[in-house]
Structure 1
Amino acid sequence: MNSVEIANELKELLNGENIKTQLSVPQLVEKATSRGEAVLTVEGALRAQTGKYTGRSPKDKYIVKEEICNNKIDWGKVNRPISAEVFDKLYVKVVNYLKERDELYVFNGFAGADKESQLSIKVINEYAWHNLFCHQLFIRPTADELAKHVAEFTIVSAPNFKADPEVDGTGSETFIITSIEKKIILIGGTEYAGEMKKSIFGIMNYLLPEQGIFPMHCSANVGEGGDVALFFGLSGTGKTTLSADKDRKLIGDDEHGWSDNGVFNIEGGCYAKTINLSAENEPEIYNAIRFGSVLENVAVDPETRECDYADGSLTENTRVAYPIDYIDNIVLPSVAGHPNTIVFLTADAFGVLPPISKLTKEQAMYHFLSGFTSKLAGTERGVTEPEPVFSTCFGSPFLPLAATVYAEQLGKKIDEHGSQVFLVNTGWTGGEYGVGSRMKLSYTRAMVRAAIDGKLNNVETTQDAVFGLNIPVAVEGVPSSVLNPRDAWADKAAYDKKAAELADLFKNNFTKFENVDEAIVQKGGPLV
């Protein structure tokens, strides 16, 4: 099928009598509850369960191998190719399946708060609660924008349609297939709503670099003086906690672009983890759970409808989606200037990386490409020692282009705007996991605040002998004995051994990158 035939199929689908377009939040809540898709909690939030798929299905995610993108995509385990023939046949099947549903829900909106690079999107959902999820997470149009809205990319989501791998050419019943040429994202066989959010992020990671815009998997906030800070970090590093600051306004918590105009949020909402959520530890998220919010897989008492956020029986990956204006301390529209400070967060369970270090441009690019943190012992069956995790650019599952494309953009932005980059270890100190202790949050907050306030830009530093990192000699509110990780270990020989082990892991991981500037390898990585 060519693009015209695809468009005609889509037009016929959208002209059906079962189409419900741009329903309001109350209408979608009513639909979802009356159809048995979800229930209301005592706070008024909508709680849905996603069945056996409680997270993303990366092995079932594909990009159609098309001439328009074939030589640009970084094909491999993350970006799996699939033929146009497989896509076309599945597309027709899914469209015919959706035509037979009694109701379908359509949301028209945008990705990207910067009007100059905004992507117009359309989402067609089998579930009302999925449509509410998209309504709250993407950028909602004004009445004038809606009147002129023409979608550039369309998500077609049919969670109850299951593929037959032997017939349909997929790996399982589940599929998330993106056709860049036909501008369609086809999703089936999974009820996990996060697939829609991340599919659009993947498209933005493809499109924005061609416009000279740096797409980033990070959170961002801005101070009263307009100073912007970015926080990159994988799960468990403290990204959400540290970017939520009562003295700074949130730009966004997960996906951003950095253009010639500055930083902008790609989304119009937040998608936060809720496992062990409490009003004391994360009041912003806790207070955002109200009418219009969408909870996924959170345990709810069937009688009182009270949520039990400590209950991970359905999954540890319990989530809530809500519009960004459910948080008080935000900036709207979600745009700001160029970042003064960039923070890379890592939870080093080996206990050998400094709690904070100032990075050169080469080191920033090296650690950005590495995207290191640790999976801790006890978090998964069979994990008895800390496991290193390297997620390229702190977001490898969502990067369709070669990693070096994004790293080069980072280096260029640092040169253009003089952004200061810091590596912050929120992991262990005084020993590895099981021997040392987790870095105190109060210390980490003090170090991050000092970095953001510019107090560490020109301070005296000492160089770490293993990783070549520049460690501040003093940070207000933090004991000097904590700043140099080797000093915090009682057994110096054990530290040296563990540090050398982690350095080797960094170097071995870095061999997977091709065509990297030699200066990044020589000046950015471990010295030994």
Structure 2
Amino acid sequence: MEYMEHLKNIGIVPAKEVFWNLSEPQLISQTLRNNEGIIARSGALVCDTGEFTGRSPKDKYVVKDQKTADSVWWGEINHPFLPEDFDRLYERVTNHLSDHDIYIKDVYACAKSEYRLNIRVITENPWQSLFANNLFLNPDEKELETFEHEWLILAAPKFKADPKIDKTRQHNFTIINFTKKVILIGGSAYTGEIKKGIFTVLNYILPHEKNVLSMHCSANIGTEGDTAVFFGLSGTGKTTLSADPSRKLIGDDEHGWDDDHVFNFEGGCYAKCYGLSREKEPQIFSAIRYGTLLENVRFLEGTDVVDYENVSVTENTRAAYPIEFIDNAIHPSVGGIPNNIFFLTCDAFGVLPPISKLTVSQVMYHFISGYTSKVAGTEAGITEPQTTFSACFGKPFLPLHPTKYAELLGKKLKDNKVNVWLINTGWSGGAYGVGERIKLAYTRAMITAVLENKFEDADFMRDAVFGLHMPLECDGVPSEILNPKNTWTDQSKYDEMALSLAARFAENFKDFESFAGEEIMNGGPVIQSK
């Protein structure tokens, strides 16, 4: 058969069954037949990913060769892997896959055709193939007849590396080879490695080779065609605030921005499920139906109803579904140049204003910083607020230095009329434990005011420590909370906390100073000495 020749070229000589581009019902049936999953009452397929229920950043590598040696940001994020070690491990993985049933899915990334990236995903489990089907874009039947992949993903969770032989840290690994255009995944069935592997690839190709900004963000579009982009780390409200029933969803996680458009990389969503309810997230809740893959969830005792509060396996429970399962998703997933960009942060120190407008310098500085904070109870051992910084709001997926993305963003802001806003969804009137969390209704009102251009002629005042420009009034929001200092009973304590947070920003930024130009550095806080 023709596919045998394709597999031979890849290095796979199958001794068992090969399942090529099965439909969703076929992949679900095969999973049930293999006793690898069960059907929930909602119709979704429920599977466990086994030993790994999240990504393993310390076991992610990039092949260091002539192509990548001088372009990749080597260090704690991108661990170098020798080409000869990759070749040897590749052969071991393909030999392993030759002895197992394999599932092949031909898909692509990038909703804008100029950047389309054809991907062949070969997995050991049918539900992993369902994940690829749901998260990426799918060629039509005619396109499949002549499909040729540019990138290859080999996902072999049952293959365990031997660190002595394979030069890995432990038995699991994700290795990206930009020269051979291969992502090699072994020892882990966590499907997020597949998704984020391709995101990492696009974070290299698009900015480095095509001058397109890649972004870890959600995006939606209004009835007047205005595009809004939302950046934010976990817990900042990115999913909640971008899921607006009055606006069309472009995508919830990964996008590109070229000279004319913002476009989704993916064809689906990979939503966190912890605490999910019809009341809090009606769109996501309704999307979990037949065809959706649920990972690592548990049921209410004695039923087939998913208990989204149960985190006995992991807090990182996930739902993978096609974007068309969201009622107001736009197709194709493309919007115009952004009118507004939101940086979302959950500041548990009660320092940052609930809304402020950023200059271009501040945008680049805060983009590289990627700040939010964790509060007590979110993780074991955290007893007071802790700062969290993730460059470009997606540090683990950046193969290039963060300043490359920030400079490209700055250029796009200068070339287009785009407003950028810092939104604090965290605390006001004091730090966590003293103050109160800013009401979601207020945050929604502020974002609505931005989207309806109500700040165009508004008056702003400048914050003394961070230099942020805060509006004096906003419809539906008490004016006194717009300047966070006013909400503190003891304003001298606010000043101390603000200087403390500014110092943390400055300390974090030391890692980037040698690469950042004067314009970026001018966007940082003004740390005042006593």
What TM bracket, shorter-length normalisation? over 0.9
Distance 1:382 1:301 in 2: 29
1:218·1:253 contact (CA, 8 Å) conserved in 2?
A: yes
Partner AA of 2:516 in structure 1: V
Alignment-derived partner of residue 3 in structure 2: none
Alignment-derived partner of residue 172 in structure 1: 170
Shift of 1:260: 1.6
Q: 1:54-76 CA distances to partner (integer Å, 9 max, x unpaired)?
A: 10000000001111111100000
Alignment-derived partner of residue 331 in structure 1: 330
Q: 2:424 aligned with 1:425, yes or no?
A: yes
Q: 2:352 aligned with 1:376, yes or no?
A: no
Alignment-derived partner of residue 133 in structure 1: 131
Shift of 1:11: 3.4
Q: Aligned to 1:220, what secondary structure does the other structure show?
A: strand
Distance 1:150 1:90 in 2: 24
Alignment-derived partner of residue 120 in structure 1: 118
1:157·1:187 contact (CA, 8 Å) conserved in 2?
A: yes
Shift of 1:519: 2.2
1:122·1:155 contact (CA, 8 Å) conserved in 2?
A: yes
- Give the percent of matched residue pairs that are identical in Structure 1 and Structure 2: 52
Q: Aligned to 2:113, what secondary structure does the other structure show?
A: coil
Q: 1:318 to 1:149 in 2, by over 3 A?
A: same
Partner AA of 1:55 in structure 2: G
Q: 1:302 to 1:23 in 2, by over 3 A?
A: farther
Distance 1:19 1:218 in 2: 36
Shift of 1:416: 1.2
1:63·1:81 contact (CA, 8 Å) conserved in 2?
A: yes
Shift of 1:154: 0.5
Q: 2:46 aligned with 1:47, yes or no?
A: yes
Q: Which moved more, 1:303-312 or 1:274-283?
A: 303-312
Q: Aligned to 2:508, what secondary structure does the other structure show?
A: helix
Written as runs of structure 1 = structure 2, the 5 A alignment for 1:200-215 is: 200-209=198-207, 210-215=209-214
Q: 1:314 to 1:286 in 2, by over 3 A?
A: same
1:468·1:527 contact (CA, 8 Å) conserved in 2?
A: no
Distance 1:274 1:190 in 2: 21
Alignment-derived partner of residue 189 in structure 1: 187
Distance 2:125 2:7 in 1: 23
Partner AA of 1:282 in structure 2: E
Alignment gaps of 5+ in structure 1: 1-6
Alignment-derived partner of residue 143 in structure 1: 141
* Normalised TM-score (structure 1): 0.97
Partner AA of 1:491 in structure 2: D
* Normalised TM-score (structure 2): 0.96
Partner AA of 1:305 in structure 2: D
Shift of 1:8: 7.8
Shift of 1:477: 0.4
Q: Aligned to 2:26, what secondary structure does the other structure show?
A: helix
Q: Aligned to 2:485, what secondary structure does the other structure show?
A: helix
Q: 1:500 to 1:525 in 2, by over 3 A?
A: closer
Written as runs of structure 1 = structure 2, the 5 A alignment for 1:31-70 is: 31-70=30-69
Distance 1:234 1:464 in 2: 24
Q: Aligned to 2:115, what secondary structure does the other structure show?
A: coil
Shift of 1:522: 2.2
1:106·1:131 contact (CA, 8 Å) conserved in 2?
A: yes
1:233·1:344 contact (CA, 8 Å) conserved in 2?
A: yes
Alignment-derived partner of residue 91 in structure 1: 90
Q: Aligned to 2:373, what secondary structure does the other structure show?
A: strand
Written as runs of structure 1 = structure 2, the 5 A alignment for 1:177-256 is: 177-209=175-207, 210-256=209-255
Distance 1:133 1:8 in 2: 21
Alignment-derived partner of residue 3 in structure 1: none
Distance 2:387 2:287 in 1: 33
Distance 2:283 2:58 in 1: 34
- Alignment partner of 1:160 out of 152, 158, 161: 158
1:221·1:251 contact (CA, 8 Å) conserved in 2?
A: yes
Q: Aligned to 1:116, what secondary structure does the other structure show?
A: helix
1:420·1:457 contact (CA, 8 Å) conserved in 2?
A: no
Distance 1:147 1:261 in 2: 31
Alignment-derived partner of residue 351 in structure 1: 350
